[in-house]
Structure 1
Amino acid sequence: MSVEAADGAETQLARHDSLYGDAEKVAGDRRHGSGASWRQTVLLAFQSVGVVYGDIGTSRLYTISSTFPDGIRHPDDLLGVLSLVLYTLLLLPMLKYVFIVLYANDNGDGGTFALYSLISRYAKIRMIPNHQAEDAAVSNYMTAHEPSSQARRAQCVKKSLESSKAAKIALFTITILGTSMVMGDGTLTPAISVLSAVSGIREKAPNLTQSQVVWISVAILFLLFSVQRFGTDKVGYSFAPIISVWFVLIAGIGAYNLAAHDATVLRALNPRYMVDYFRRNGKEAWLSLGGVVLCTTGTEAMFADLGHFNIRAIQLSFSCIIFPSVALSYMGQASYLHKFPQDVGDTFYKSIPAAMFWPTFIVAIMAAIIASQAMLSGAFAILSKALSLGCFPRVEVVHTSNKYAGQVYIPEINFLIGAASIVVTLAFQTTANIGNAYGICVVMVFSITTHLMTIVMLLVWKTNVAFIAAFYVVFSLTELLYLSSILSKFAEGGYLPFCFSLVLMALMATWHYVHVRRYWYELDHVVPAAELAALLGRRDVRRVPGVGLLYSELVQGIPPVFPRLVDKMPSVHAVFVFMSIKNLPIPRVPAPERFIFRRVGPADHRMFRCVARYGYTDQIEAAKEFSAALLDGLKLFVHQEAAFFDDDNDDGALQLRGARAAATEEEKRFIDAELERGVVYLTGEADVVAAPGSSVLKRIVVNYVYSFLRKNLRESHKALAIPKDQLLKVGITYEI
């Protein structure tokens, strides 16, 4: 049993908590996908084609036109650009992601946020001081690694990160920048994909104006965002075979064009044509890289959606299906343009054989919609993970699939992204201008992944330093080259993702700053043990029937809202639990390891501390299920607590054991009886304001920006699905 001490820490008389023995209850394979048979892997590889690659599959609708916005000046320029496209696909999606980055998954979960969480488990880089030693005992919290000669270097990296506030802020900043860029990607992908696909109709209806094409695209976008609430499982997976048909079509059309027009474009496999292209065009060649990099759009989805498949499945599908199909498509486009260079503005649709136009057009529209839907699902998922960092206001997160934990829908964000996507389509009108903005999102996420991967290699993998240096130099320089090209078109649409990201980052940073300062305030003002005893000993304070759950961010100590509660309502429930919801930097927490219980004060007070741990892909249960699981866990804790002390076998110890067993059963019956009388949820409604003497900037951030977000977005009890008729809110003001 342990007692909460005055300073908020726990003074342990004899250490025991509800995690005792729980770590052994959950066993599983820690290497994602390593247990799958080849038959399962092949099936997953086929399924991944329809889920992961929609964006990278539809990028050929606009890549070539974005690379040659002013037309083709020299016939060999086609060979140079084709060579650039093919080797970019080999270098970034295949070599970097498929054969390196996928192995940095967080127990099967991928994406920028997963990398940050993986790092934060090996080094204490989070701003909120809520780390508990018990966290490391949760299954899959740490990834096992064999000792190596690089361990000392990893330890130095760990100490450097933990001791440097600047390093912690830098890692947090690039993580929320990556989140912001993915949100920008979710805004621009529907706009550019749908507009590119719809533009093909002008081949058969030349009288349509560009404005009319834009309005048709807007109608499709409106429909797309309207069906998001049904989720990926019902929208994307239902049409997954269409993406497979799409890849068959683009590969077949590419092969047809190679055979029908000019197969000599296969010379582009020689990288010498890249060198000649730059030598011949100089600055113009460098500027065209902003269009070339669009061939990689959707690459991050391979990593972000890894949790639905496994490493081998992604490697197999990309190497054997995606890359050959995409390469054939680009080769076919180059072959067609060698003969008809004037058609560079709409290469894809003009190169389609007449008999195949309408089937291809229809599939292209549907593929663009599915690709956009998958990207939006990924944006929702990464933002839901950001909630566990405490860097985004609580919003409603709807889990849309019973099979896949990571598939979510966020109504407020869907509305904002949908409105932004429609505005972008109406404002920019053409894919060339949208492409300038789109490329920045793509390359910035690439660059952030490279930097986080380098830290993972140093800290977690403990890889040979020569390999780390080669990885960082090759990919960071490549991405810097592409980024510099895209930034040259900042005024031509490139500013859009920066403006979007700056606004989103400012909101996330504001929320996180106040969230951290609020936590420190509560930690500095925890109720001392003596004051707790005095509160319960007051003559006007009585114990009332039922179970009370007081929610607080703190994972240790009595929160300062508790005395306010007793002052306003001089009563405490017969069973009282100080409840904390805590997000661990892992994807999932097994149910048997969900709760940690401790006693607060003497046993006859029947007051407990409970920390409910969730991974960043876990769904918080409904209030009824949550309270039932919590009370079951509490009774188990009471039982285990008694067993923890029953070690001696002499006569006196046996008598004491019997008395303790009887008391334990009585306490469990008491908890059941109070549960029957009802559960009341108590939350502190903290009005956070800047302390007197604060700077003007701090007053603006805390008193206005944070206050606006808190008042206009979902309240915490709604996010936790607490019934209104069982909720009691206690107001309190924190000056930070």
Structure 2
Amino acid sequence: MSQNDVHEAPGTEEVPVDSLETDPKSSTDWKPSIQKLRRYDSLDIESGKFPRDHTHAAKQAMGWATVLHLAFQSIGIVYGDIGTSPLYVFKTTFGKEIRDPDDVFGVLSLILYTLTLIPLVKYVFIVLQANDNGDGGTFALYSLICRYAKVGLLPSQQAEDQDVSNYQLEPSSNRLRRASCLKSKLEGSRPAKFFLLFATMLGTSMVIGDGVLTPSMSVLSAVGGITEATSKMNQDMIVWISVAILVFLFMFQRLGTDKVGYTFAPIILIWFLLNSGIGVYNFIKYDPSVIKSINPGYIVDYFRRNKKEAWISLGGVVLAITGTEALFADVGHFSVRSIQFSMSAITYPALVLAYTGQASFLRKHPEHVSDTFYKSIPGPLYWPMFVVAVMASIIASQAMISGTFSIIQQSLSLGCFPRVKIMHTSTKYEGQVYIPEINYLLMIATVAVTIGFRTTDKIGNAYGIAVVFVMTLTSSFLVLIMIMIWKTNILLVIAYILTIGVVELVYLSSVLYKFDQGGYLPLAFAGFLMAIMYVWNNVYRRKYYYELDHKISPEKVQEITADKNLCRVPGLALFYSELVQGIPPIFKHYISNVPALHSVLVFVSIKSLPISKIPQDERFLFRRVEPKDMNVFRCVVRYGYNDVRTTADSGEPFERTLVERLIEFMREEFMISHNVVENKDADKEMPVDGQLDELGRDVEVIEGALRAGVVHLIGESDVTAGKGAGLWKRLLIDYAYNFLKRNLRQSDKVLDIPRGQLLKVGMTYEL
């Protein structure tokens, strides 16, 4: 469809035909607003900030009682990963020995300032403000940029999309030449568009890699503490116990994050309280002088003494902030204020006390650096701490696994991942999903990593690369948002780059140094995932452009439907296509082989917008295909990347909801055609009874077709490389893409269409 070919049926009050017939001249209830019925000529509107939608605004305006409740719940979901870092940070940083007692001051100072600068300052007080109508993560940042600048690679933008509540943009001010210049450069550069998509894919792949490494790292570290209680426990036994726990953890995923994570929020809280208490105890008992680590000069001294070794040790320090990305990724389940409160008031102080206590212990017992956490626990608290540590490590794994499911869902909605089954596990929080195929793949990968690496040392090297890569990409996107959307003072942008940006790059250089010591694992895993994403997205775009180039014109549709040999049968046919701007060529293929057409035909295009959720009453766009008596319509059904696609929010079947919105559209179309709009300058005559009867008959045709039965027609287009295609194109389309398509879920299962109402139409495209 062209931008003018779609007309929106917004969520206005429904006016029954009967009420129009009762008193057509005196009634004013059925006059639609010009504001809601207007059409746009383009989407090229200079824009500034993204206002929050009503849901996000309600979250921000909630009372402190609700904030505290959400803050408590967030403890069980968000902080498991970063909260269990004290299990292994000092061990990974120092290795087997501490060369100089004052090195403890330097490393503690590094940990404290890293915790303050990255999780607290960057994420809690800056990145959380870049949420996408309450949702966070790499795709949220990408969606903000896509909505502000036309950097998407599919030509499916429509002017009406900006009418969605969560999508609206404000006019920009005159002082934003820098933002407009950057926007123009991004929009005019195809390499820049590809780079943004590539960076988004890389970031999501790294987070998924984190979902593999976190369970292995956390569970191995926690279970390894049992060696303090018995010398009979060797490394093989630790590995197999860890594998058993991991298999149980992944089997437990089908119950959903809502049941798993929130149940254990009290355990993570107990974990923080125990770590804080033990930290204070060790600080007082062993060496209170570690308080001097507040002085950043100890960091300088540490690098002077150790030089290259100090730089390499940063790969261990960075593990203190693993899981920080969860602060942003999971904000949609809670609220910005609740995350800010729980991090600032509970998590951050607990971690500071835990690391300070361990540093005090190491000042007196440097020989225990390889097992600092369990050695520093007072004897009577050993077993309680061991049990809580194992449970906390399981919860830490749960948080990243759930985050992986959400990321795959977002990638799928934007055409960047093959079709998989999305199961929504919570009626309260729509973003909580379970994906069986991904769950089993993660389980296999995690068990393989645990058995292959066996210890936390090499896993720690791999872990650090995944963490810092994602943080660096987040900062890159954030700088674009600061300049283009927030219109931040350029001096503040430069300050951000020179402080947080430089720190992250230094950490990235350190973790990359250990590439051959396990650091290759997340990059290899990310490369594998990106290859899948690239293949699917590349051919997906090729297919879309092919259909766009070969779409059927409205005149051709009229010619087809006017054919006297074409039989019209009772019922409603929904013809699905990914093509937003027109009628796909597969329709002509269908009619040439099956010369029958249902009494009402709706071409349905499923479209993903770069926003998290779309209100149900703003989801459907309709346009009639002339002539009117054909009863042929085009419909664009818009979803956000966190929306449920199988049924309406009310629980009604999809086709029933679509018909209700179609009838609303027909009534509004009728009002426009008879000039029944709000107009203060001229009085418009009301429609006569005969015209209202015509509207009633049209509505009855639609409802009658629904009663006669619904048929879902899905265009299953096979693809093959065109004649004369090169080797790379043939490998990409004929082998890689078709292999993924054959072995993964089909579109009818993704749309949850009943088999008895499904009819597939096949056609081969030569790309």
TM-score normalised to structure 1 length: 0.96
Q: 1:184-333, aligned counterparts within 5 Å? A: 184-333=209-358
Q: Could you say if the C-alpha distance between residues 213 and 127 of structure 1 is closer, same or farther in structure 2, counting changes exceeding 3 Å?
A: same
Pick from 122, 136, 156 the counterpart of residue 162 of structure 2.
136
Q: Could you say if the C-alpha distance between residues 657 and 135 of structure 1 is closer, same or farther in structure 2, counting changes exceeding 3 Å?
A: farther
User: In structure 1, how many angstroms separate the alpha carbons of the residues matched to 2:168 and 2:79?
Assistant: 31
Query: 3-state DSSP class of the match of 1:157?
Result: helix
Q: Does 1:9 align with 2:34?
A: no
Q: 1:408-487, aligned counterparts within 5 Å? A: 408-487=433-512
Counterpart residue number, 1:720: 751
- Structure 1 residue 695, shift from structure 2 partner: 1.6
Q: 1:100-111, aligned counterparts within 5 Å? A: 100-111=126-137
Q: Deviations over 1:348-373 (max 9, x none)?
A: 01111110011111011111101111
- Structure 1 residue 449, shift from structure 2 partner: 0.2
Range with greater deviation from structure 2 (315-324 or 128-137): 315-324
Q: 1:609-620, aligned counterparts within 5 Å? A: 609-620=634-645
Q: 1:453-532, aligned counterparts within 5 Å? A: 453-532=478-557
User: In structure 2, how many angstroms separate the alpha carbons of the residues matched to 1:653 and 1:368?
Assistant: 70
- Structure 1 residue 51, shift from structure 2 partner: 1.9
- Structure 1 residue 673, shift from structure 2 partner: 1.2
Is this contact kept in 2: 1:18–1:598, CA < 8 A? no
Q: Deviations over 1:160-180 (max 9, x none)?
A: 111100110010000000010
Is this contact kept in 1: 2:712–2:753, CA < 8 A? yes
Pick from 716, 735, 753 the counterpart of residue 685 of structure 1.
716
Counterpart residue number, 1:83: 109
Q: Deviations over 1:134-172 (max 9, x none)?
A: 000000203547x54542221111111111001100100
User: In structure 1, how many angstroms separate the alpha carbons of the residues matched to 2:687 and 2:380?
Assistant: 90
User: In structure 2, how many angstroms separate the alpha carbons of the residues matched to 1:149 and 1:335?
Assistant: 56
Q: Could you say if the C-alpha distance between residues 648 and 733 of structure 1 is closer, same or farther in structure 2, counting changes exceeding 3 Å?
A: closer
Query: 3-state DSSP class of the match of 2:60?
Result: coil
Q: Does 1:664 align with 2:678?
A: no
Query: 3-state DSSP class of the match of 1:75?
Result: coil
Is this contact kept in 1: 2:713–2:760, CA < 8 A? yes
Q: 1:566-645, aligned counterparts within 5 Å? A: 566-622=591-647, 625-645=653-673
Amino acid at match of 1:37: G
Q: Could you say if the C-alpha distance between residues 513 and 244 of structure 1 is closer, same or farther in structure 2, counting changes exceeding 3 Å?
A: same
Q: Deviations over 1:89-125 (max 9, x none)?
A: 0111011111111100111001111000011000111
- Structure 1 residue 29, shift from structure 2 partner: 5.7
- Structure 1 residue 671, shift from structure 2 partner: 1.2
Amino acid at match of 2:712: Y
Q: Could you say if the C-alpha distance between residues 377 and 664 of structure 1 is closer, same or farther in structure 2, counting changes exceeding 3 Å?
A: same
Is this contact kept in 2: 1:599–1:608, CA < 8 A? yes
Q: Deviations over 1:631-684 (max 9, x none)?
A: 1111111111111223379xx985864332111111111111111111000011
User: In structure 2, how many angstroms separate the alpha carbons of the residues matched to 1:19 and 1:156?
Assistant: 34
Amino acid at match of 1:249: L
Counterpart residue number, 1:64: 90
Counterpart residue number, 1:4: none
User: In structure 1, how many angstroms separate the alpha carbons of the residues matched to 2:470 and 2:339?
Assistant: 20
Q: Could you say if the C-alpha distance between residues 103 and 24 of structure 1 is closer, same or farther in structure 2, counting changes exceeding 3 Å?
A: farther
Is this contact kept in 1: 2:11–2:618, CA < 8 A? no
Q: Could you say if the C-alpha distance between residues 512 and 256 of structure 1 is closer, same or farther in structure 2, counting changes exceeding 3 Å?
A: same
**Percentage of pairs with the same residue:** 52
User: In structure 1, how many angstroms separate the alpha carbons of the residues matched to 2:340 and 2:3?
Assistant: 49
Query: 3-state DSSP class of the match of 2:257?
Result: coil
Pick from 706, 719, 732 the counterpart of residue 675 of structure 1.
706
Query: 3-state DSSP class of the match of 2:197?
Result: helix
Counterpart residue number, 2:675: 647
Pick from 708, 722, 730 the counterpart of residue 699 of structure 1.
730
Q: Could you say if the C-alpha distance between residues 657 and 168 of structure 1 is closer, same or farther in structure 2, counting changes exceeding 3 Å?
A: farther
User: In structure 2, how many angstroms separate the alpha carbons of the residues matched to 1:130 and 1:401?
Assistant: 31
Query: 3-state DSSP class of the match of 1:235?
Result: helix
Amino acid at match of 1:437: A
User: In structure 2, how many angstroms separate the alpha carbons of the residues matched to 1:675 and 1:308?
Assistant: 37
Pick from 556, 580, 587 the counterpart of residue 562 of structure 1.
587
Counterpart residue number, 2:181: 156
User: In structure 1, how many angstroms separate the alpha carbons of the residues matched to 2:127 and 2:170?
Assistant: 18
Q: Could you say if the C-alpha distance between residues 258 and 679 of structure 1 is closer, same or farther in structure 2, counting changes exceeding 3 Å?
A: same
Counterpart residue number, 1:3: none
- Structure 1 residue 42, shift from structure 2 partner: 2.4
Q: Deviations over 1:492-526 (max 9, x none)?
A: 10000011001100110110010011000000001
Query: 3-state DSSP class of the match of 2:102?
Result: helix
Q: Could you say if the C-alpha distance between residues 648 and 222 of structure 1 is closer, same or farther in structure 2, counting changes exceeding 3 Å?
A: closer
Alignment gaps of 5+ in structure 2: 14-34, 38-51, 678-682
Query: 3-state DSSP class of the match of 2:675?
Result: coil
Q: Could you say if the C-alpha distance between residues 11 and 291 of structure 1 is closer, same or farther in structure 2, counting changes exceeding 3 Å?
A: closer
Alignment gaps of 5+ in structure 1: 1-7
Q: Could you say if the C-alpha distance between residues 252 and 690 of structure 1 is closer, same or farther in structure 2, counting changes exceeding 3 Å?
A: same
User: In structure 1, how many angstroms separate the alpha carbons of the residues matched to 2:254 and 2:513?
Assistant: 38
Q: Deviations over 1:434-461 (max 9, x none)?
A: 0000000000000000000011111111
- Structure 1 residue 538, shift from structure 2 partner: 2.1
Is this contact kept in 1: 2:96–2:369, CA < 8 A? no
Amino acid at match of 1:442: V
Is this contact kept in 1: 2:10–2:36, CA < 8 A? no
Q: Could you say if the C-alpha distance between residues 30 and 368 of structure 1 is closer, same or farther in structure 2, counting changes exceeding 3 Å?
A: closer
Is this contact kept in 1: 2:623–2:635, CA < 8 A? yes
